[in-house]
Amino acid sequence: MINQPLPEQSARIVGYAALIQKYELAVPLPLTLSAISEKHLKYEANHWKVFTPRHAPQDTLYGHLVFALRYEGLDLAVLNSLFLKVEKSEFENAIKQESNGAYARRIWFLYEYLLEVELNLPDLKQGNYVDLVDQKIQYAGPARNSKRHRIRNNLPGDKRFCPLIRHTKKLDELIHQNLSLEALKRLDAVEPNLLMRATGFLLLEDSRASYFIEGETPPHSRAERWAQIIGQAGKTPLSKSELERLQKEVIVDGRFIQMGYRQEGGFIGSHDRFTNMPIPSHISARPQDLESLMDGLIYTASILKNSDYPPVLAATSIAFGFVFIHPFEDGNGRLHRYLLHHVLAQTGFAPNGIVFPVSSVILRRISEYAKALEAYSKPRLSLIEWRATEKGNVEVLNDTLDLYRFFDATPQAEFFYECVHETVTKALPDEIGYLKRYDKMKTFVNHYLDLPDKTADLLIRFLSQNEGKLSKRAREKEFLALTDQEIQVFETKFAEIFEL
């Protein structure tokens, strides 16, 4: 049922909303639904796109399908569920009426492609090829021609795994800014030695942030080790064996978990403290679906790598798709954020040798990150039938494959693109600016007093940590030998250089 209140009392639902309601499809609702108003005014309000009476389709299966493809784009989860629910002959009869039509061909191709069943229709012999994904509505992948339907299959994935992302004002504006080129320009002006130091620090900061997001505080050696792994992102193609290798890098002691793809269910959430009953906020893909889903994800990464598909959107689809599938028993979160780096590096978006500290930005935006994850998980929980196991885990009882292979990744793409924007325009310049000020302050300290190098570094670090003031503890311990006048000079100079 459509549980979103209509924007107008007299409006009527059309497109995907009408098909979901009429055929009682158990699918996540599209993020935006469509309705026809009695007024001659087209507008958007509260998850609804409202169209005028002249846009109204025929109140038939084919009418609503054509409306959906024309104005709402592709929703593969709805389409697959509909194809399974409705008799094959209904689609054959509808397509025969205009088999050369662009929308009929799309429906025909999608039916055969998703269900792997051939309709009783002859191959088309003539006519121009038509794009499957309408590039005015959704971002399209590289095209592969289907001669039978005269369709250019430009899905950004395949039927095993294919998130779709809609054009929005925010995404179009961010893509237009060409942040990859902007980062390159900013970094080209930086002295190589300074850039090397900044890169090293940002790598370590990103590694620590990825652990902190998981609620862990790693020892320096582990954070440093993971930073080295992140620094290699993009150099080795994705594969099952590569992901399993990376999991071993994340999990220090694998004696207490089953390594590799899960053999049991999985969920994120908590347990009832009295009954140990799972309280899921997210339920992972079924173990029997993991091979297909992950093969599809790896294939999707390979076809998007050298395509014109926007790299930040590709990183979103692969990394968020991975964490929603949750293929491993442990280590999924850090590997999810590794994959963000991997795709940005592999597509050439990140300048060579530079790792954007996106985990650090995500940590600063942790509540927005949680909302981006929840935007996927929350609508799907009610569609998953499960029971608790003796181990306090979950066992999924229904077919949930479509929930993980087909989803609208627009909310996650908007969130991640904003993180990348902040990284390029703020985090990178801030770190480089800090190092320049640090060097200036250290030069002053060394000229004013002949301090050991380590002591000078410690002094600047203490001033940085305490808003330009040396704490009472530092005055009485590490810097007891300094006079009040010397401390005053250093604090004044620090405030001047760091513009406090």
AA letter at 354:
I
pLDDT in tens, the chain (500 residues): 788 888 888 889 999 999 999 999 999 999 999 999 988 888 888 889 999 999 999 999 999 999 999 999 999 999 999 999 999 999 999 999 887 899 999 999 999 999 999 999 999 998 899 999 999 999 999 999 999 999 999 999 999 999 999 999 999 999 999 988 888 887 777 787 787 788 788 888 888 888 888 888 878 888 888 888 888 888 999 999 999 999 998 887 667 788 899 999 999 998 888 888 999 999 999 999 999 999 999 999 999 998 999 999 999 999 999 999 999 999 999 999 999 999 999 998 887 777 788 888 999 999 999 999 999 999 999 999 999 998 889 999 999 999 999 999 999 999 999 999 998 888 888 888 888 999 999 999 999 998 888 999 999 999 999 999 999 998 989 899 999 999 999 999 999 999 87
* N-terminal to C-terminal alpha carbon distance within the chain: 57
DSSP string, 185-210: HHHHTS-HHHHHHHHHHHHHHHHHHH
Q: How far is CA 500 from CA 57, 89, 436, 439, 472, in A?
A: 63, 74, 15, 17, 20
CA distance 110 to 115: 8
The full set of domain ranges for the chain reads 12-86, 169-429, 449-497
Q: How many CA atoms lie within 13 A of 14 on its CB side?
A: 27
Q: How many angstroms from the chain centroid is the CA of residue 325?
A: 12
What is the fold of 169-429? Fic-like fold (1.10.3290)
